[in-house]
């Protein structure tokens, strides 16, 4: 077999050539999450080192134990440095190592940036398919960087969006996101007022980077009846009070939340309606009434990296994309 002799290396450019859709990623993630809920895959809480200047290092791992889970282990390492843009580097960098569940041998090394961006957006979509209105047309982005761009792509594929509102501390990034929305046929505006951006939106995506001067500036009561919000930034830009009135407060992994309490706080900080494992185990857990609101706060789970990493590897094998490195 190829991977007994070689390790396949996939750059970001290689992965983008595969042209995987947001829906393909979401389906793979949902299937793997369902397998985890049945004990067929295992997710391990991430380990992190956070520095006072905002630098961060993390490692994550998930293992597929039996089909239909991908029969691999996926280990991701990432580093984050807020000073990287001044160096001409991306803020986040990392790698995913995919290991054969049968032999224990590494079979692929792949760039983690595209996978992290897209699996995060696809994970939001998995939850949004349960808790956002199917006819959602207005989407608001608070924070307009890589995660906003990934969510725009994935959500525009899945919902009949017609209007985008973009708000960012950097007006140029908001304008760039609005331009991208217009390029795919959506109306777009750049907002200056946070309340104006949130009120009336069917879907709200917040991905505001952390910083020493950041103070929460969004309020839960601004969410319109029936709205769904994905708090990709751990909810750091939301004021903590007011979430009691939100009908569905969701989180990715309760165990991971508890493991990180010593160094990281989520908003809302519980109580939570369900985590992803509980959602997958209970298909009936979803929005029941048109006016029910839902918020999904998450840190990211390795089982999603496993799902997307396996999908990327298998697609690359079929197409011959990537570089084969001798062992």
For 252-283, the pLDDT digits (tens) are 988 888 777 665 678 888 889 999 999 999 98
Q: Full-prediction pTM beyond 0.75?
A: yes
Instruction: Map out the domains of the chain as residue ranges.
Output: 2-115+303-326, 133-299
CATH 3.60.15.10 fits 133-299, yes or no: no
Give the per-residue pLDDT at 75: 97
Give the per-residue pLDDT at 251: 94
Q: What does the buried/exposed string (b/e) look like for 194-208 if buried means 16 or more CB atoms within 10 Å of the residue's CB?
A: beebbbebbbbbbbb
Give the per-residue pLDDT at 3: 59
Low-confidence ranges of the chain (pLDDT < 50): none
Give the per-residue pLDDT at 112: 96
Give the per-residue pLDDT at 264: 66
Give the per-residue pLDDT at 69: 87
The topology under which CATH files domain 2-115+303-326 is ornithine cyclodeaminase, domain 1 (3.30.1780)
Q: Which of 155, 160, 156, 166 is nearest to 189 (CA)?
A: 166
Residue 123 burial by Cβ neighbours in a 10 Å radius (0-12, 13-18, 19+):
buried
């Amino acid at each position: 077999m190829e991977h007994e002799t070689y390790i396949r290396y996939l750059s970001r450019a290689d992965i983008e050539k595969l042209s995987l859709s947001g829906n393909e990623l979401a389906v793979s993630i949902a299937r793997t999450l369902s397998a985890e809920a049945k004990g067929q895959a295992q997710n391990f809480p991430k380990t992190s080192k956070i520095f006072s200047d905002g630098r961060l290092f993390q490692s994550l791992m998930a293992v597929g134990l039996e089909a239909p889970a991908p029969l691999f282990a996926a280990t991701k390492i990432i580093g984050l440095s807020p000073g990287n843009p001044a160096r001409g580097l991306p803020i986040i960098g990392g790698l995913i190592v995919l290991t054969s569940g049968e032999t224990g041998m590494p079979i692929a090394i792949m760039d983690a940036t595209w996978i992290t961006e897209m699996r995060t957006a696809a994970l939001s979509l998995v939850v949004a398919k349960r808790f956002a209105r199917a006819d959602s047309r207005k989407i608001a982005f608070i924070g307009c960087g890589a995660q906003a761009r990934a969510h725009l792509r994935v959500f525009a594929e899945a919902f009949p969006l017609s209007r985008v509102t973009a708000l960012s501390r950097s007006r140029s990034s908001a304008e760039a996101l609005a331009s991208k929305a217009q390029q795919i046929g959506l109306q777009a505006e750049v907002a200056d007022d946070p309340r104006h951006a949130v009120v009336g939106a069917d879907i709200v995506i917040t991905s505001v980077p952390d910083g020493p001067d950041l103070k929460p500036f969004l309020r839960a009561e601004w969410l319109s009846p029936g709205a769904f919000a994905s708090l990709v930034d751990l909810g750091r830009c939301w004021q903590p009070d007011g979430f009691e009135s939100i009908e569905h407060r969701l989180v990715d992994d309760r165990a991971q939340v508890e493991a990180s309490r010593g160094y990281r706080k989520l908003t809302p900080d519980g109580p939570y309606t369900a985590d992803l494992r509980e959602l997958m185990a209970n298909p009936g857990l979803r929005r029941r009434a048109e006016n029910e609101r839902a918020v999904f706060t998450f840190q990211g789970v390795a089982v999603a990296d496993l799902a997307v990493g396996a999908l990327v590897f298998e697609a690359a094998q079929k197409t011959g994309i990537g570089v084969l490195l001798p062992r």
